[in-house]
Amino acid sequence: MKALLKYPALWKDAAFIGGEWLAQSPHGRYAVCNPANGETLVELPRLGVDAARAAVGAAHEAFLAWRRTTADERAQCLRRWYELIVEHTDDLARLITLEEGKPLAEARGEMKYAASFVRWFSEEARRVRGEIIPAPQASQRIVVTREPVGVAVAITPWNFPAAMITRKAAPALAAGCTMVVKPAEQTPMTALALAELAHRAGIPAGVFNVVTVAGQDAPAVGDALCHDARVRKITFTGSTAVGKILLRHAADGVKKASMELGGNAPFIVFDDADLDAAVDGVMAAKFRNTGQSCIGANRVLVQAGVYDAFARKVVARVAALKVGNGLDDGVQIGPLIDTAAADKSLEHVADARTHGARVLHGGQRHALGACFVEPTVLADMTPSMRVAREETFGPVLPLFRFTTEDEAIALANDTEFGLAAYFYSRDAARIWRVSGRLETGMLGINTGLISNEVAPFGGIKESGLGREGSSHGIDEYTEMKYLCWDGLGA
Ligand code: ADP
């Protein structure tokens, strides 16, 4: 399997702590599997609480020196890391497809996106500024500096194995923080390859650590990492349920926390939309990563005047999607991450059918295997169905019909989530009106693709706290320190 890589040294079977590869654990090893065929890719040391604490220790020791480096030194380390990531994109993309399942072209797209954060924050490192505020007394000077928070723990999901790490690690390291990453149990190989490249880039030992943790140990290790007094920041991307647990951990130690949690994105098509553009948009917003994206369109709301025409066009596009192993040429839809994920999509389809939905296309498990689901289009959806309330996280596109703009807004906002929303319209007044009324952290207007490194990514309501990317992303890793200096004369 290693032979699939151009640089086999990126194929790791050990955790990375304090600049050393840790190949053994007293708790044995756990397997990482390819969701396309169930084959074991690698067995990694099953680290427990002790090793997690050791990683925090290494990060804490490294922090004492890393925080004293100049912004320019940190910028140069990140720039080298970026260049190495770009140089090894093909291998990193292959690792993503092997462990996560997404089509190789999409994995390459993810690597471009992941690398963009490292480049962006290599640039932002030198733009962390303080301020001087006019003092209330003539003898005083008031200065505000920005300092790194300290050791950050990142707990990341499997759906974007590289980008969800660089989006956190790059701003943390740029600000002068050090990090312990606990990648998802399904996708640690990409994280370990990134660690190898960070090491080669000259990022000092202990600044970036990756612990390999089996799924059943994630709660105990998460608890130990988050309750360690040396950790001052918790950053998480994943489900709202786990985010709430981690926020409780953060509360115990009054730690800074950023949370990028679940979504239930509405995708609204108004009568005045450019229908072909809206079809392109929904295909991207729904089927990217086989439907496993937290900002993926979960509910497609279409105005009555264009509903039937839109449905016809969407079905034609969905019917042409090529399903298969992500490494094969031309594949657009890969396996879901595991059988349980495929089961959930199929349960959502079954629930919708029971409550009166029509299946316009697909609707079954795919003949390729237990993790594969046919790309599916459902019509006549209603708000009480599970698809409307929960994140499906699979290749299921449900169509809801609405009549008025007010009705669309009410439907769109009828969820505890508020991560992303999308709508298509060519009426400028409507665009401003609807933009103001949708409860969401991010909004795609006449586009289905909104992710990039320059904009603030994040949600409102139960979709999260804090923003990643953009010039704001680095604020999450700094604290303000206010210096009140007196006795300076008038
Ligand atoms: P998903 O359902 O998409 O797998 P999760 O929120 O369960 O999303 O997982 C995201 C990340 O959170 C993974 O790295 C996983 O190992 C980790 N995780 C799951 N449960 C816990 C927990 N109780 N404490 C800390 N981390 C956890």
- The confidence score (pLDDT) of residue 2 equals 83
Residues 460 and 117: their CA atoms lie apart, in Å, by: 22
Q: Which of 77, 294, 371, 391 is catalytic?
A: 294
Which alpha helices (DSSP H) does 67-162 contain, by range?
A: 71-87, 89-100, 104-124
CA dihedral 196, 198, 201, 202 (to 10 degrees): -100
- The confidence score (pLDDT) of residue 490 equals 78
- The confidence score (pLDDT) of residue 68 equals 98
- The confidence score (pLDDT) of residue 241 equals 97
Query: Please, are residues 468 and 168 in contact by the beta-carbon 8 Å criterion?
Result: yes
CA dihedral sign, ordered 227, 231, 234, 235:
negative
Torsion-angle region of 15 (φ positive above 0: left; ψ -120 to 50: alpha; else: beta): beta
Q: Which of 110, 124, 196, 260 is catalytic?
A: 260
If you measure from the C-alpha of residue 460 to the centroid of ligand 1, how many angstroms do you get, rounded to a whole number? Answer: 20
For 66, the enclosing helix (H) or strand (E) is helix 49-66
Mutate to test the pocket of ligand 1, among 164, 165, 242 (most ligand atoms within 8 A of CB): 242
294 is catalytic: yes
How many contiguous H segments (helices) and E segments (strands) does the chain have?
14, 22
484 is catalytic: no
Which alpha helices (DSSP H) does 201-338 contain, by range?
A: 218-227, 240-252, 275-287, 304-319
Mutate to test the pocket of ligand 1, among 155, 234, 339, 391 (most ligand atoms within 8 A of CB): 155
The pair of three-digit structure tokens given for residue 90, joined into one six-digit string: 């093909």
Of 79, 343, 68, the C-alpha closest to 198 is 79
Of 225, 233, 135, 218, the C-alpha closest to 178 is 233
DSSP string, 459-479: -EETTEES-BSTTTGGGGGEE
The number of residues in the chain equals 490
Q: Which residue has the tokens 């289905």?
A: 448
For 407, the enclosing helix (H) or strand (E) is helix 405-413
Residues 353 and 337: their CA atoms lie apart, in Å, by: 24
If you measure from the C-alpha of residue 271 to the centroid of ligand 1, how many angstroms do you get, rounded to a whole number? Answer: 40
DSSP type of residue 137: S
- The confidence score (pLDDT) of residue 143 equals 98
- Which parts of the chain register pLDDT below 50? none
